[in-house]
């Protein structure tokens, strides 16, 4: 792992933290370390409550205000971004890091047209006119394979199906051409056939742009098909990390073995 | 013990017993008020008053401030539709001219309360911390006073006058707008689209006012209309007790005060018509507010 260090776009080292609650401090992340290889797709897998989404939000600097870091660092471009305040983080958010949320329809503003949301996001980071931003937004919707983008831009989120909304969410995340794309369970809650379409789209977009991607999921089948590296998390700790092929074929950790068995992935790959 | 207490209460304050007809009418009014059918009626009442106010700009049967336009305290007639007052001014001319003052000042005062109250409440809800704590304590202190008493207190410090009256009647409903806007933002700031708005790199204030607040304008607008009903009542009340806009302004409250002493002499028209003006304006705003609120509820279902 240390040999690959220079090629890591982002490295999490010994990251720990927890929530302030009325009943006291509650540790959630415990000494989490992993790296995201440049231009690779890394999966963070684990069950509900393993801390994977919180880790993703921490990378974006969007963790809830009751979350307190107790140790470790998140290194990006030679800086520990986990010490940034909101103002400093805004330079990274959107422009360099972007995130696609789990519930795409809840992540789009119900009272603003989809086109306006894309145009605003575009203009938040690039010095372009509204007309230029509109063209970029339309092009982006075409890229995420939304049919009839010009008409769709005038519509509101409630007029989109779950799959279409997730495509718009991806367009929103990608419109500022980020270096790192974090995907927080992008296919959860979608039909199985649409899940496959969306994953295929994500893989296409990531591989064609040379972007670094981090996929948060609990679906090991998806991980096996799409990811290069995998980080297995359980109860706030990293249990195992390494290249996908190795971890899924020869899991060393007991929890990883259990996880693989429970997802019936062994049968499929055997 | 409890039974005897209950009996005692019952003898002192007998339960209001309504006949079947009255209960049915009340029930009908209540269900009508919670339907969005109130919106067109309220809007027509307000439109009527605005129209009359506009008409008074270009035409009134007699100059509203002219004394001796007719006989003193004459009853409604063909020459003076609403009659004349103790100094012979035409009540109809005065009533529609006064509408201009009351409608305009009500709208201005509510707009001030809406903008300041919503912005303040939104900031308190969004940023929390000491701003929210101080705001809430302050509101509790202010709201401990009955609103008209509060108005009199402020007026006695600032002194009467047009600007002061507008400020005072605007200050009174601000706490309600603060609470409402804060509650709206509190329930919506953890929604994912707020997080998504931050994700693309928007400043917190942009997230708040451009992404969150547009989702809250309808409950705020509904409340603004309902509070306008109270504001126009307060303006008239201040006018009635003589600390209103100007002592001699053509304004419904001061017109009622002028005509009040003549009512016992039988000149009911002097106070009735300006009173109806206040009533129609208040009912109009209330119905519009009810209508918007009912429509909001309907769409949430």
- Euclidean distance between CA atoms A49 and A234, whole angstroms: 8
- Work out the pLDDT band at A268, boundaries 50, 70, 90: low
Q: Is residue B69 part of a domain?
A: no
Check pLDDT > 90 for residue A221.
no
pLDDT at A269: 52
pLDDT at A202: 92
pLDDT at A270: 46
- Work out the pLDDT band at B1, boundaries 50, 70, 90: very low
Contact assignment for A107 to B204 by CB distance below 8 Å: no
List Cβ neighbours of A222 (8 Å cut-off, separation of 6 or more).
A43, A187, A195, A199, A215
pTM above 0.90, yes or no: no
Mean pLDDT of A7-30: 91
Mind listing the pLDDT tens digit for each residue in A123-159?
A: 888 889 999 999 999 999 999 999 999 999 999 999 9
Q: Is residue B32 part of a domain?
A: no
* Angle (deg, nearest 10), helices A162-174 and A192-209: 10
**What distance in Å separates residue A124's CA from the closest CA in chain B?**
7
Return the CATH number at A205.
Answer: 3.40.50.300
DSSP symbol at B213: G
8 Å CB contact between A141 and A149? yes
Mind listing the pLDDT tens digit for each residue in A173-209?
A: 999 889 999 999 988 878 888 888 899 999 999 888 8
Contact assignment for A62 to B197 by CB distance below 8 Å: no
Contact assignment for B192 to A107 by CB distance below 8 Å: yes
Query: Closest partner residue to A101 among B196, B201, B203, by Cβ?
Result: B196
Q: Determine the distance from the C-alpha atom of residue A57 to the mean position of all C-alpha atoms in its chain, rounded to a whole number.
A: 9
Structural domain boundaries enclosing A246: 2-269
Residue B146, token pair as written in the block: 């009955």
pLDDT at A170: 92
- Work out the pLDDT band at B201, boundaries 50, 70, 90: confident
Check pLDDT > 90 for residue B232.
yes
pLDDT at B2: 43
What is the share, in percent, of chain B residues with pLDDT greater than 70? 92
Q: Determine the distance from the C-alpha atom of residue B126 to the mean position of all C-alpha atoms in its chain, rounded to a whole number.
A: 28
**What distance in Å separates residue B202's CA from the closest CA in chain A?**
7
* Number of domains making up chain B: 1
Structural domain boundaries enclosing B272: 38-57+82-300
Check pLDDT > 60 for residue A266.
no
8 Å CB contact between B87 and B67? yes
Q: Is residue B281 part of a domain?
A: yes
* Number of domains making up chain A: 1
Q: Determine the distance from the C-alpha atom of residue B252 to the mean position of all C-alpha atoms in its chain, rounded to a whole number.
A: 14
Q: Which position has the higher pLDDT, B108 or B191?
A: B108
- Euclidean distance between CA atoms B36 and A154, whole angstroms: 28
Number of A:B CB contacts under 8 A?
A: 66
Return the CATH number at B265.
Answer: 1.10.3720.10
Mind listing the pLDDT tens digit for each residue in B113-171?
A: 999 999 999 999 999 889 999 999 999 998 898 888 888 888 889 888 888 999 999 99
What is the share, in percent, of chain A residues with pLDDT greater than 90? 50
Q: Nearest-CA residue of chain A relative to B128? A: A65
- Work out the pLDDT band at B301, boundaries 50, 70, 90: low
Adjacency order of strands within the sheet including A8-21? A24-37, A8-21, A67-76, A79-80
pLDDT at A14: 93
Mean pLDDT estimate for chain A = 88
Contact assignment for B192 to A101 by CB distance below 8 Å: yes
pLDDT at A87: 87
Q: Which position has the higher pLDDT, B277 or B202?
A: B277
Mind listing the pLDDT tens digit for each residue in B262-296?
A: 888 888 998 999 999 999 999 999 999 999 998 88
Chain A neighbors of B199, CB-CB under 8 A: 60, 62, 93-94, 98-99, 101, 173
From chain A, which residues contact B within 8 Å (Cβ)? 60, 62, 86, 90-91, 93-95, 98-99, 101-103, 106-112, 120-121, 124-125, 169, 172-173, 175-176
- Euclidean distance between CA atoms A177 and A243, whole angstroms: 26
Query: Closest partner residue to B204 among A86, A107, A124, by Cβ?
Result: A86
Chain B neighbors of A103, CB-CB under 8 A: 192
What is the share, in percent, of chain B residues with pLDDT greater than 90? 45
- Work out the pLDDT band at B18, boundaries 50, 70, 90: low
In a 3-state reduction of DSSP, which class is residue A72?
strand
Place of tokens 């990274």: A92
pLDDT at B16: 56
Chain B neighbors of A98, CB-CB under 8 A: 199-200
pLDDT at B9: 46
8 Å CB contact between A76 and A10? yes
Q: Nearest-CA residue of chain B relative to A100? A: B196
Check pLDDT > 50 for residue B89.
yes
Query: Closest partner residue to B201 among A95, A108, A169, by Cβ?
Result: A95
Q: Is residue B178 part of a domain?
A: yes
Mind listing the pLDDT tens digit for each residue in B58-85?
A: 988 888 888 878 888 888 888 888 988 8
Contact assignment for A99 to B198 by CB distance below 8 Å: no
**What distance in Å separates residue A220's CA from the closest CA in chain B?**
26
Q: Among A97-111, A248-262, B199-213, B235-249, name the one with the lowest average pLDDT.
A: B235-249
Q: Is residue B8 part of a domain?
A: no
């Amino acid at each position: 792992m240390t040999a690959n260090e220079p090629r890591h776009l982002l490295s999490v080292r010994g990251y720990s933290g927890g929530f302030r609650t009325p009943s006291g401090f509650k540790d959630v992340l415990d000494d989490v370390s992993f790296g995201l290889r440049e231009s690779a797709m890394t999966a963070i897998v684990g069950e509900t409550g393993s801390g994977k989404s919180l880790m993703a939000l921490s990378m974006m600097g969007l963790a809830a205000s009751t979350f307190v870091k107790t140790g470790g660092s998140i290194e990006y471009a030679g800086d520990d971004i986990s010490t940034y305040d909101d103002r400093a983080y805004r330079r990274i958010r959107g422009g360099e890091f972007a995130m696609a949320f789990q519930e795409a329809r809840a992540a789009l503003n119900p009272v603003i047209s989809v086109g306006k949301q894309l145009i605003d996001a575009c203009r938040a980071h690039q010095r372009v006119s509204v007309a230029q931003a509109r063209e970029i937004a339309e092009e982006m919707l075409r890229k995420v394979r939304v049919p009839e983008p010009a008409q769709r831009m005038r519509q509101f989120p409630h007029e989109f199906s779950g799959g279409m909304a997730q495509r718009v969410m991806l367009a929103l995340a990608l419109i500022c051409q980020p270096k790192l794309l974090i995907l927080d369970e992008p296919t959860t809650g979608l039909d199985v056939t649409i899940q496959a379409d969306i994953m295929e789209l994500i893989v296409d977009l990531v591989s064609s742009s040379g972007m670094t991607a981090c996929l948060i999921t609990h679906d090991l089948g998806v991980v096996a098909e799409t990811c290069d590296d995998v980080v297995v998390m359980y109860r706030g700790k990293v249990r195992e990390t390494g290249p996908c092929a190795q971890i899924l074929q020869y899991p060393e950790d007991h929890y990883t073995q259990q996880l693989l068995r429970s997802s019936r992935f062994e049968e499929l790959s055997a | 013990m409890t039974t005897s207490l209950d009996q005692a209460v019952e003898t002192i304050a007998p339960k209001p017993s309504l006949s079947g007809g009255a209960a049915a009418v009340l029930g009908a009014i209540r269900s009508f008020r919670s339907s969005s059918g109130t919106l067109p009626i309220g809007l027509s009442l307000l439109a009527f008053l605005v129209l009359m106010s506009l008409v008074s700009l270009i035409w009134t049967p007699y100059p509203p401030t002219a004394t001796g336009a007719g006989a003193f305290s004459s009853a409604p007639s063909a020459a003076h539709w609403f009659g004349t007052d103790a100094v012979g001014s035409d009540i109809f001319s005065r009533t529609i001219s006064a509408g201009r003052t009351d409608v305009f000042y009500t709208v201005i005062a509510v707009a001030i309360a809406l903008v300041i109250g919503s912005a303040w409440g939104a900031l308190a809800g969004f940023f929390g911390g000491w701003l929210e704590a101080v705001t809430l304590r302050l509101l509790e202190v202010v709201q401990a006073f009955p609103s008209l008493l509060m108005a009199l207190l402020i007026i006695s410090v600032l002194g009467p006058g047009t600007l002061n009256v507008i400020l005072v009647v605007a200050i009174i409903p601000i706490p309600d707008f603060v609470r409402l806007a804060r509650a709206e933002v509190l329930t919506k700031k953890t929604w994912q689209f707020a997080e998504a708005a931050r994700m693309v790199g928007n400043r917190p204030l942009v997230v708040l006012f451009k992404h969150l607040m547009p989702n809250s304008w309808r409950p705020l607008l509904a409340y603004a209309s309902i509070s306008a009903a109270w504001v126009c009542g307060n303006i008239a009340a201040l006018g009635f007790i003589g600390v209103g806009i100007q002592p001699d302004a053509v304004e419904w409250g001061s017109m009622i005060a002028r005509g009040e002493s003549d009512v016992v002499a039988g000149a009911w028209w002097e106070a009735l018509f300006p009173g109806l003006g206040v009533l129609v304006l208040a009912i109009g705003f209330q119905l519009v507010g009810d209508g918007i609120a009912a429509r909001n509820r309907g769409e949430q279902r």
